[in-house]
Amino acid sequence: MFSRLIPREVKFFDLFNAHAALIVEGSHALVQLVADPAIFAAHAERIDTAERGADKITHETITLLHKTFITPLDRDQIHQLITNMDDILDLIQDVAETIVLYDIRRTTAEAQQLAQICQMTCDRVKVAVDLLANLRDPEAILKTCEEIDRLESDADRVMRSAMSRLFREESDVKQLIKLRTIYELLELITDRCEDVANIVEGIVLEHS
């Protein structure tokens, strides 16, 4: 009874939502970067800006977590959620940096498809996180998490097909190594999105 009378810090949800919005911003810039890596500067800058903003939000969330007596969610869940969300943008930035460092001038249809799947998955991460502040509609949250899982499976299939084609058809060993790295990083983005979905799903099931 006493714990119900103590105000809970609701700013956590605002921070989650702000971070998720930056994930979406980064993923949209990623799609454009992979589609046309020759014009990388503007898109890479958008990703860097989103990643820096997300780092600040992650730091603010963890600081708030240490200062808050009663939290709206389990402390470990808050920490896991924000750090896994931050991993998504870190990987998006890794793709951008790899494209620049490897001097990749052309990508493949599969790389572009993977980037688009990443964007769709990130969009749904934002939807799931936005819904988390109001657990009155757990079915909508769980449905969104299922969509993220399906998209992650789609990314797995696209990557397997892309790798198969790459090793069959690409004669330039350097280009093969570059594209393989890009494929793997893009697929990892969807894995991290699935990790976030699993955390959100656990929160919903625990509170339903």
Q: Which domains does the chain have, with CATH numbers?
A: 8-207 (1.20.58.220)
Q: Compute how many other C-beta atoms are within 10 angstroms of the C-beta atom of residue 81.
A: 24
Torsion region of 103: left, alpha or beta (phi above 0 gives left; psi -120 to 50 gives alpha): left
Whether the Cβ atoms of residue 46 and residue 26 lie closer than 8 Å to each other: yes
Question: pTM of the predicted model, to two decimals?
Answer: 0.92
56-113 tens-digit pLDDT: 999 999 999 998 888 888 999 999 999 999 999 999 999 999 999 998 888 999 999 9
